[in-house]
Amino acid sequence: MNKLMIFCFILTILLPGAALGEESPIGKIKTGTGEVMVLRNSNESALHPGDSLYQSDIIRTRARSSVGILFDDNTVLSLGPESEIVIEEYIFAPQQGKFSMITRMLKGTASYLSGIIGRQAPDSVKFSTPDTTIGIRGTKFLVKVIGKAGHPPPVFLSSGP
């Protein structure tokens, strides 16, 4: 009887945490220079090579800073100085045929190189800026979002084959 009570007590403690689940990382910081920050769950902290990224993270670079991100599907995203991007959705579940990468570029510069999601399910990749949404049809592109106070930022695009 005591073993059963202890077992039930342990389950009571462990099951709520298991039910909530730990969010899985979606990628890692591969390179970084200067100040690279992440806003996660209303807390801002510094990012360093090897740190994990999660869905809904907001990545920010300061002046004279840059970051290189490698996602689980081998997508490479690089941000230049004074950039900010939101990872709104990232799903890489090839066993179930589920793919999605939706990001929102708020400011700065970014370079994108397709991984598995972009090659196998290009319609599942969306890269939005304050004025437009880019559907990925190629393997790489560069984007720069700039603006002046009170004016919508212009967006400049360059794509590759």
Distance between CA atoms of residues 33 and 50, nearest Å: 13
Helix (H, G, I), strand (E, B) or coil at 22: coil
pLDDT of residue 3: 52
**DSSP structure string for 53-90:** E-TT-EEEE-TT-EEEEEETT--EEEE-TT-EEEEEEE
Tell me the mean pLDDT in the region 12-33. Answer: 70
Residue 38 and residue 45 in contact, taking contact as beta carbons nearer than 8 Å: yes
Q: Count helices and strands (H / E) in the chain.
A: 2, 13
Phi/psi region, residue 20 (left: phi>0; alpha: psi -120 to 50; beta: rest), is: alpha
- With a cut of 80, say whether residue 151 has pLDDT above it: no
The total number of residues shown for the chain amounts to 161
HSE of 106 in the Cβ direction (CA atoms, 13 Å)? 12
Query: Greater confidence, 28 or 151?
Result: 28
| pLDDT for the residue 140 | 83
Mean local confidence (pLDDT), 43-59: 97
Beta-bridged to residue 38, according to DSSP, are 45, 59
Phi, psi of 160 (to 5 degrees): -115, 180
User: What is the pLDDT of the chain when averaged over all its residues?
Assistant: 82
User: Which tokens go with 124?
Assistant: 């599942």
- Residue type for 44, please? E
How much is the pTM? Answer: 0.78
Q: What is the CA radius of gyration of the chain?
A: 19
Q: Name which of 155, 152, 153 is nearest 110 in CA terms.
A: 155
pLDDT band at 50; cut points 50, 70, 90: very high
pLDDT tens-digit series, residues 127-142? 888 877 666 666 788 8
**What's residue 147's pLDDT?**
58
Predicted confidence at residue 146, as pLDDT, reads: 77
